[in-house]
Structure 1
Amino acid sequence: MAALKVLVIDEFDSGGLIEKSLQAYGFEIATLKLQALHLLDVVKTLQPNVVVLNLYSPNANVLNMMRELNQQYAVPVVVFAEDQQTDTINQVIKAGVSAYIVDGLEPKRLKAIIDIAIARFNEHKELKDELKKTKTQLEDRKLIDRAKAILIKSQAYTEEQAYQSLRKLAMDRGISLGEMAKNVIAMAELFK
């Protein structure tokens, strides 16, 4: 198994503590300073498996970077910080951080924290993917019902005939039933 790539963003001069600890566990490490960093470009270039931030407190700029990172790249983020205010913790969680560790940068715990963050991230990603799939299926069902209603009204089909017609059209064109329903609805709108 290939070594996990970890991008470490360190606000402190900790003497490479995180880097040395993670290298001891066999991780491949890239360490950068937080100042003047465009995280999205760095993540796009390095393609890490995990991003670890070590900072005093996640300010608005860092929180925005976390939100953008969460939206554009699927990567677990672990934040070590000193700030234990409830408001900060809530903002960090909303930004998509997988683990927020307060006053807990202990080298012997790093691997376990990263492993847990990755597992939590993967579980959360599965749930998001399942939710997206369910929403798409529901939307397709609504479109199919609407397209069937158009065919029933315009062609005097039964509900079963309308469904079979939609299904055959979709198969003949090599598209999904939902996509075919969109096409039927668009054509009906065109001829109104």
Structure 2
Amino acid sequence: MKPLKVLIVDEVQSDKLLEETLQKYGFEIACLPLQSLDLSAIVLSLLPDIVVLNVFTPTQAMLKAILTINQSHSVPVIIFAEDQDAETINQVIKAGVSAYIVDGLDTKRIKTIIDIAIARFREQQALKDELKKTKSQLEERKLIDRAKGLLMKSQGYNEDEAYHALRKLAMDRNIAIGEMAKNVISMADLLK
């Protein structure tokens, strides 16, 4: 198995503890200083497997960049920070950070923290994927019901006949029934 690529963005450059510890555990490391860094652009160019931020406190720009990262190249983001403020913690969670560790840069715990953050991230991704799939199925169901209603109104079918007609149309054209429902709705809109 190839090593995971970790992007470390470090506000404390004099301390190489995080970088050295992760290298010891076999991670492939890219370590960059924090100053005026476009975090989302760097992540999109490097495509790391994990992003680790070692900062005093996460800034609004940093949290916005994490949101952008989660939308374009979703990866686990771990923040080691000094800020224990409840509002900061709430903002960090809303940004989609997988782990926020306060005063916890202990070499014995780093590997475990990263493993837990990755597991938590994967679980959240699975839930997001399931939600997306369910929403898509619901939208398709609504389209099918609308197309059935149009067929019932225009052809005088009952609900069962309308569904079977829609299904037959989809099978004859070798397309999904949801796609056929979109076509029926589009055609009905054109004929208005």
Q: Which residue of 1 aligns with 2:57?
A: 57
After superposing the two structures, state which structure 1 stretch, 174-183 or 145-154, moved more. 174-183
CA distance in 1, matches of 2:164, 2:14: 67
Q: Which residue of 1 aligns with 2:11?
A: 11
Aligned residue identity for 2:105: L
CA distance in 1, matches of 2:38, 2:137: 37
* RMSD of equivalent CA atoms: 1.2
CA distance in 2, matches of 1:172, 1:47: 43
Aligned length: 192
Q: CA deviation at 1:14?
A: 3.7
Q: Which residue of 2 aligns with 1:188?
A: 188
Q: Which residue of 1 aligns with 2:174?
A: 174
Q: CA deviation at 1:34?
A: 1.0
CA distance in 2, matches of 1:116, 1:42: 24
CA distance in 1, matches of 2:168, 2:11: 60
Aligned residue identity for 1:105: L
Q: What does the per-residue CA deviation read over 1:58-87, in whole Å, with 9 as the maximum and x for residues that have no partner?
A: 111111111111111110000000000000
Aligned residue identity for 1:165: A
SS in 1 for 2:120: helix
Unmatched runs of 5 consecutive residues or more in structure 1: none
Q: CA deviation at 1:109?
A: 0.8
Give % identity.
Answer: 64
CA distance in 2, matches of 1:14, 1:103: 17
Q: CA deviation at 1:16?
A: 1.4
Output the TM-score relative to the length of structure 2: 0.96
SS in 1 for 2:188: helix
Would you say 1:114 and 2:114 are equivalent positions? yes
